[in-house]
Structure 1
Amino acid sequence: MSTGSEDRMRRAVLTALAAALLTGVSACAATPASPGPAPSAASPGFAAGLGAGPPPGASPATPPASPSGPVPAAGDGETVRVADFERAAAGTAYGEGEWRGDDWPALWELGMSTRATVDAAVAHSGGQSLRVRYPAGKFGPEESGAQAPFTLEPRREYYVSQWVRFGAGFSFGTTSFAGKVGLGLAGGDSCSGGQACDGTNGFSSRLIWGRDGTAAIYYYSMGHAGQYGDAADLVAGGTRVRWRSDRWVNVVQRLRVNTVAGGQATADGEIEVWVDGVRAALVTGLRFVSNGDQVDRAYFSSFAGGGDATFAPRTDSVIFYDDLEVSTGWPGTAAARSPA
């Protein structure tokens, strides 16, 4: 066990490096949200994000269509969105129109129509998955990965589940190592991108990779330390979680927005993450909003970086995604949840 001063120092270091995950600093699976000592400013690792709205070059969305197939029931609760990538033929670019055909209405998309395709090489279920490219030497959402914020009916709490498999030889960066992974949750004006979250401009919570594929949850809430968001390492069964290329990994995130009383934000917001059904992070005592904003979008946000070329992959890299689900309870497509 560390001393109190050592513990405070570790928290400050983790917060200062959360934006870039330049080192493998470990955090406990249950990460308290109480403020610690003021850290030094974080490096601009995740300057691109939700807060600025659609990035340059993003394609506007068109009205949603009816879903093309049956939606499986959630484990407990209601399934709101599900995508298994079986409908379209292998090789199909999965732009906004394809997502809309699966009843995932997007506000805009970037990179989906150029770097996201249906792939028949590997799949978690069925015979196909979604393959997203991260080209060598490229970083940021304009040239790497894919993004799209999908609208949800506003609710205080949602779950998102996804099966993720990194491609063999995935390059996590050049001399800096960080990037966003897959599907997250956001609400209101989706505070992100180095913004100060004041309770009226929303919030966001997304998965990220770090050096050697270490996994963490990266989130923006009121009073986040430093310029950029906070991060909590994913630790399951006492072991630091790393993204895998040899098998599919299931990640479920639950976000619960705090209550507001008399215009004041109550510190009872939560983020919880499970990896293959085992709890890997629980962040409590969060204040996301001081107004009526709730969770109102599932945000697919995945790209290398990072704010400069040091975060770019050394080689062309890919991540496969399958069986994405948004639900109001434990997702039916997720791994069985282990007892708490």
Structure 2
Amino acid sequence: MLRIDVPRLRRGVLATGLLAALAGCTAPPAGHAPVGPPAPGASSAPPGFEAGLGTGPPAPPPSPAPSTAVPPRPSDGESVLVTDFERAAAGTAYGTEQWRSDGWGTPWELGMSGRTATSGAVAHSGGTSLRVSYPAGKIGPADSGAQAPFALEPRPEYHVSQWIRFGEGFSFGTTSFAGKVGLGLAGGDSCSGGQVCDGTNGFSSRLIWGRDGKAAVYYYSMGHAGAYGDAADLVTDGEQVFWPADRWVNVVQRLRVNTVTGGRANPDGEIEVWVDGVRAAHVTGLRFVSNGDRVDTAYFSSFAGGGDASFAPRTDSEIFYDDLEVATGWPGTAAPAR
């Protein structure tokens, strides 16, 4: 049965074990600028999701009131980066140079050259998409999926849109379940990986999967609830969103950085997520920065996460991505708002 649920907002309710599992594999290759390295002295948390995404959800929170918000129209902004993966022939490895040829500049990558390639098997538009591989028995971006930070002109707000299709029979884990999905947003030093976000070391916000493909947005901001980041379930029409297999899903994320007054972070930062044009999460009252940092990175971060082999896929798995876009308003390649 196809399930595309965009869960209820639940800030900080995912257990430390879950967030630790997602946080443990974010460091870039040696010699490169950090994007969310583990905090000095940070302890490793036990594997597993003790609530929400892992061993089973807790009692569900109350359903949110139906949203009447209407996303901004395409005319509200302009496309900054966009790729449909049509430039390269099917079967082409999509490493750093391929991304740079599409205008997406990155100083480093993990897995792009070896575990991504254009595919003619399925496409949201045109004839090709990007296939990302998640080998059986492997976890972390060094051995699973792919990761790369793409530079953006610093701005207080961006939207990012992507079409996502989990392959048939995708394995979300073995006995524990965690992983990151596709393209997110970050700024400054991209606080993540168990760091304490102090307002001067950046922030990050990415999509994740959990048990049975449960979907959520996972973010690092000042004062996060536990040792790791917070998460908000994706929920549409009162139903939890689960990543479906063999179906294209459009996800749009908007992140707006908080304002700063006299070196003090004001609690007016926001994250919004839409699934197939329906708002699935809206987190308000966030403090990301106390300095001049803005959104300056479109952060592709997608891999099977966790602290041990229990999080590894049982079988070789794949996710397809198409029509990726970063825009200053509602992206033109996104599903229409409903």
TM-score, scaled to structure 2: 0.83
- Cross-structure match for 1:29: 8
- 1:72-221 correspondence to structure 2 within 5 Å: 74=74, 76-221=76-221
Q: Call closer, same or farther: CA 1:58–1:172 in 2, change over 3 Å.
A: farther
- Cross-structure match for 1:298: 298
How big is the shift at 1:28?
A: 6.1
Q: Call closer, same or farther: CA 1:74–1:102 in 2, change over 3 Å.
A: farther
Which digits, 9 at most, give the CA deviation of each residue in 1:16-39, with x for residues without a partner?
xxxxxxxxxx996345x6x89xx9
Amino acid at match of 1:262: G
- Cross-structure match for 1:249: 249
Aligned partner of 2:22 among 41, 46, 58: 46
> Mean Cα displacement is larger for which, 40-49 or 229-238?
40-49
- Structure 1 gap ranges (5+): 1-25, 61-72
The answer to whether residue 29 in structure 2 is matched with residue 55 in structure 1 is yes
Q: Is the 8 A contact 2:94 2:116 kept in 1?
A: yes
- Structure 2 gap ranges (5+): 35-72
Determine what percentage of the aligned residue pairs are the same residue: 74
For the residues of structure 2 that align with 1:268 and 1:253, how far apart are their CA atoms? 17
Which digits, 9 at most, give the CA deviation of each residue in 1:28-66, with x for residues without a partner?
6345x6x89xx975453123355x4x2349899xxxxxx
Amino acid at match of 2:23: A
What SS does the corresponding residue of 2:325 show, helix, strand or coil? strand
For the residues of structure 1 that align with 2:15 and 2:282, how far apart are their CA atoms? 25
Amino acid at match of 1:203: F
How big is the shift at 1:307?
A: 1.7
Q: Is the 8 A contact 2:7 2:215 kept in 1?
A: no
Which digits, 9 at most, give the CA deviation of each residue in 1:313-333, with x for residues without a partner?
000000000000000000000
TM-score, scaled to structure 1: 0.83
Q: Is the 8 A contact 1:42 1:227 kept in 2?
A: no
What SS does the corresponding residue of 1:226 show, helix, strand or coil? coil
What SS does the corresponding residue of 1:279 show, helix, strand or coil? strand
Which digits, 9 at most, give the CA deviation of each residue in 1:139-185, with x for residues without a partner?
01100000110000000000000000000000000010110000000
Q: Is the 8 A contact 2:129 2:321 kept in 1?
A: yes
Which digits, 9 at most, give the CA deviation of each residue in 1:213-241, with x for residues without a partner?
11000000001011110000000111111
Q: Call closer, same or farther: CA 1:102–1:27 in 2, change over 3 Å.
A: closer
For the residues of structure 2 that align with 1:28 and 1:252, how far apart are their CA atoms? 15
What SS does the corresponding residue of 2:163 show, helix, strand or coil? strand
For the residues of structure 1 that align with 2:7 and 2:93, how far apart are their CA atoms? 40
- Cross-structure match for 1:16: none
What SS does the corresponding residue of 1:113 show, helix, strand or coil? helix
How big is the shift at 1:121?
A: 0.3
Q: Call closer, same or farther: CA 1:103–1:307 in 2, change over 3 Å.
A: same
Q: Call closer, same or farther: CA 1:120–1:47 in 2, change over 3 Å.
A: same
For the residues of structure 1 that align with 2:90 and 2:112, how far apart are their CA atoms? 15
Number of aligned pairs? 295
Q: Call closer, same or farther: CA 1:263–1:49 in 2, change over 3 Å.
A: farther
